[in-house]
Amino acid sequence: MKLSADLASFSQRLGYSFVRPDLLVRSVTHSSMVSVHRDDNQRLEFLGDRVLGLVMAEALLKADPSAPEGLLAPRYNALVRRETCADVAREVDLGAVIKLGRSEMKSGGRRKEALLADAMEAVIAAIYQDGGFDAARKVVLHLWGARITNVADDARDAKTALQEWAQARGEAPPSYTETARTGPDHQPAFTIAVTLESGQTETATAGSKRQAEQAAAAALLKKVDR
């Protein structure tokens, strides 16, 4: 099997040459494109999530041999979470080569964070199955790059940090409310308000509810930490 020009170019961006090109094709095939002759990437995504996790765990232990688990865990979560995987996918323009069904394509699937993150994990699994763990590790470390060494000492996401701030002061967990949704269906923008029991509140707008919640929590953390 010979790769199409766009997938061959993508393989170069990954820095990996596939012995079995069919694995790469499967890794970028979304479930909306499944047919009797074509498998989707869901099983590869499941495997890739585990491969990525092991690579990151090893890398963090090596980067800071004296760090306790309490610091390693949030760093690990920051490196393997959906947002990070999607960011890496955007950097290698994975969205341009994902194979989507017509309805998913019309809804802006190539830009969806969850879809990009899942496909990135599937690509990692394809490399693992094609070349083994060492090959997968090499590609992952290259793609994640400085993220590994620059991950913050306290890499908790903003929502977790805000909840812990409230609990430490005897307050109920923050509440999140969607106050607006604008834009077309294929590229919506969500506005989320986060409110503490004390009445302090902040809002933020982003392309997904999760991103907007995180941004709102981060903004409120800055306010209450002043």
What DSSP element (H or E) covers 203? strand 201-206
- Active-site residue identified among 45, 49, 130, 213: 49
Q: How crowded is residue 200: how many other Cβ atoms within 10 Å of its Cβ?
A: 14
Structure tokens given for 206: 């982003």
Q: CA 114, CA 2: separation in Å to the nearest integer?
A: 29
Tell me, yes or no, if 49 is annotated catalytic. yes
Distance (Å, rounded) from C-alpha 54 to C-alpha 57? 5
| C-alpha separations of 88 from 44, 92, 111, 141, 171 in Å | 17, 7, 13, 11, 37
Query: Is residue 121 annotated as a catalytic residue, yes or no?
Result: yes
- Residue 7 parent element (H or E): helix 5-14
In the three-class reduction of DSSP (H, G, I as helix; E, B as strand; rest coil), residue 225 is classed as coil
Burial track 38-64 (b if 16+ CB lie within 10 A, e otherwise): ebbbeebbebbbebbeebbbebbeeee
- DSSP letter at 173 equals P
Angle at 195 between CA 191 and CA 199, to 5 degrees: 135
Which one is catalytic: 45, 121, 130, 157? 121
- Any idea which residues carry the catalytic annotation? 49, 121
